[in-house]
Chain A
Amino acid sequence: MADNTRTNTLQRLLRLWGLYARMDLLWMLRDGRQFAIYALSDLITNIGSVTAVLLLAARFAGIGPWNEWQVVFLLGYAMVVNASMNMLFQYNVLHISRRIGRGQMDHTLIQPQPLWMALVTEGFMPVSGSAMLWPGLGLLIWALVRLQMTVTIGWLAAAALNLAASALVMLSFSFIWGSLAFWAPRAAEEISSAAVDLVSQLKGFPLDALGPVLLGGLLTVLPVGFVAWYPARCLLGLEARPWAVLVTPLAALLFAVLAAFVFWRGMKHYANVGSQRYSAFGHRS
């Protein structure tokens, strides 16, 4: 019975992902001109997002203890994490405070499916959201070749595990902060944006020179360090401790549990007070 339910859930997830992927593809192909504009703007945006750090690394032959190619690896890793967010959690799933603060959770709650399933599938945009994936993977491969690293099956598994964990940290971080919008819908409507922007801006920087207090903060309260810096250090062998490669996945687990708890508390509050953001004629205050 339980196996049957699990199979049905998996089938439904796959069907929904397939549906959203198809709609995303159709959206991208419906207008050649718009597609070209999106592709060009994505290209410029992606190049721009890493150029400043790359140029600095080129000018100073690296940044601190990181040589040029290690910096390239760090940037590639950060871009792939960002790409996974863009591909899996669009439509304000990553920016969850917008949905909550705007009173749009009702749109999801009235659907005939569990809330978690809606949040896991609704933001799936594998085509239009993949613009960062290819340059990110390109940078990773380029760096690995130049660093002459030996890539084993074990290393690839560790890389995949850490990439998934970094993405989960970023999502959990946004949900933890974004859940504040349950209690302060208007003031915290954009809190997820501020949190995600901060991570996006800082994720590509080596954080080695930060003092213990700030670095501790960036691995706990604002876990920017787990989005790229720490896992990249581990994968590049800059962390001597062999178990270091498991730190980011463990951190991701903790952040996910905390995010689920905070979100659940917020939903309980929301069940009592609802949202007052919309006027009777549909305008948002």
Chain B
Amino acid sequence: MSAASYIGDNPLFLLTYLLHLVRVAVLLALWRLILAGRGEVSGMTLPVVLTYTLVSEAFYEPLHGRTSLADALWNGTIVTRLLHPVGTFAEFTAEALGRWGFTFCVFSLPLLLLAPLFGVSPLPASPQAGGLFVLSLALAIAVGVAIDINLGAAMTALEINRWAVEQVREALTVVLSGALVPLALLPWGLGDVFGWLPFAAMASAPLRIYTGTGAPGLLLALQAGWALALWPLAHWLWRANREKLVTHGG
């Protein structure tokens, strides 16, 4: 169903992925411009940063953890979702996983296979790092989806406009998650602080594990901690506020 909803009536849906590919090329060129001739910076060399960026873009959707909950709250389809005989969170998560799976096949996998053409190694720092990345990615998704649901509950409770919430989330995620700029490369030691926040558990942690630039034990523990803290909060916030739900369609 996710695949069918993407493809629609025309293969033009591929253009979205083409535009994403351009973004990847520009980001890789930018890092080459910044780090050329600098050697190792904060424990990261140019090849490591390129791999970090490539993998971050290949797993863009799961590392952002966005479900279609906000869409459903905005356009009113949440009403029918609540009538479905399955758990609401489970349904939104499953739908997101289906969408990400489709993107993985159509965009991520080809990007990783074509990485050598960009002059980038797509391989993890070690086989062990590759294995731990899968675990870390699962935890990153758990944290990202939990944040998404918490924000959905906040939208409902405070009757905040969907676009305002989405914009703020995007703005915070870009800077704090480490998906665009590795936290270690931020100035004034900001990365050391941001690394403890839940946003870092969404992207920085799995990418550091993949590239071998972080301690896997500590990073996984932090991710698990945030998942354990955010999921009960999401359930409680949703239970407490779903009766306040007001939607007018969109």
**B-contacting residues of A (Cβ < 8 Å)?**
34, 37-38, 41-42, 44-49, 51-52, 55-56, 58-60, 63-64, 177, 180, 184-188, 190-191, 194-195, 197-198, 201-202, 205-211, 214, 217-218, 222, 224
Contact A41–B167 (Cβ < 8 Å):
yes
Q: Which residues of chain B come closer than 8 Å to A51, judged between CB atoms?
A: 174-175
CA distance A60 to B10 in the complex (A): 45
Known contacts A34-B161, A51-B175, A187-B11: does B186 contact A194 (CB below 8 Å)? no
CB of B85 to closest CB in A, whole Å? 23
Known contacts A191-B15, A207-B26: does B172 contact A44 (CB below 8 Å)? yes
At the interface, is chain A mostly helix, strand, loop or mixed? helix
Q: Could you write out 28 A-B pairs with CB less than 8 Å apart?
A: A37-B160, A41-B164, A41-B168, A44-B171, A45-B167, A45-B168, A45-B170, A48-B168, A49-B171, A51-B175, A55-B190, A56-B34, A56-B181, A58-B188, A60-B34, A63-B33, A64-B33, A184-B10, A187-B9, A187-B12, A191-B12, A197-B19, A205-B30, A207-B29, A209-B30, A209-B32, A211-B29, A222-B19
Q: Which residues of chain A come closer than 8 Å to B7, judged between CB atoms?
A: 187
Contact A55–B181 (Cβ < 8 Å):
yes
Known contacts A58-B187, A202-B23: does B172 contact A186 (CB below 8 Å)? no
Contact with A along B167-208 (1 / 0, CB 8 A): 110111011000011000111101000000000000000000
Contact B185–A56 (Cβ < 8 Å):
yes
Contact B23–A201 (Cβ < 8 Å):
yes
Q: Which residues of chain B come closer than 8 Å to A186, judged between CB atoms?
A: 8-10
CA distance A207 to B36 in the complex (A): 15
- The answer, yes or no, to whether B16 is at the interface (CB within 8 Å) is yes
Please indicate which of the listed interface residues B10, B158, B188 has the most CB atoms of chain A within 10 Å of its own CB: B10
Residue in contact with A206 in the complex, picked from B9, B33, B172, CB distance below 8 Å: B33
Contact A48–B175 (Cβ < 8 Å):
yes
Contact B22–A48 (Cβ < 8 Å):
no
- The answer, yes or no, to whether B125 is at the interface (CB within 8 Å) is no
Number of A-B contacts (CB under 8 A): 118
Known contacts A58-B187, A59-B187, A198-B19: does B9 contact A48 (CB below 8 Å)? no
Q: Which residues of chain A come closer than 8 Å to B23, judged between CB atoms?
A: 198, 201-202
- The answer, yes or no, to whether B132 is at the interface (CB within 8 Å) is no
- The answer, yes or no, to whether B157 is at the interface (CB within 8 Å) is no
Contact A209–B22 (Cβ < 8 Å):
no
Contact A48–B187 (Cβ < 8 Å):
no
Within 134-174 of B, Cβ neighbours of A (below 8 Å) are at: 158, 160-161, 164-165, 167-168, 170-172, 174
CA distance A60 to B44 in the complex (A): 14
- The answer, yes or no, to whether B114 is at the interface (CB within 8 Å) is no
Q: Which residues of chain B come closer than 8 Å to A56, judged between CB atoms?
A: 34, 181, 185
Contact A38–B164 (Cβ < 8 Å):
yes
Contact B175–A52 (Cβ < 8 Å):
yes
A44-B171, A45-B167, A187-B11 provided; 12 other pairs, C-beta below 8 A? A37-B164, A45-B168, A48-B171, A48-B174, A60-B34, A184-B10, A188-B10, A194-B15, A201-B23, A209-B33, A210-B29, A211-B29
CB of B124 to closest CB in A, whole Å? 25
Contact B170–A48 (Cβ < 8 Å):
yes
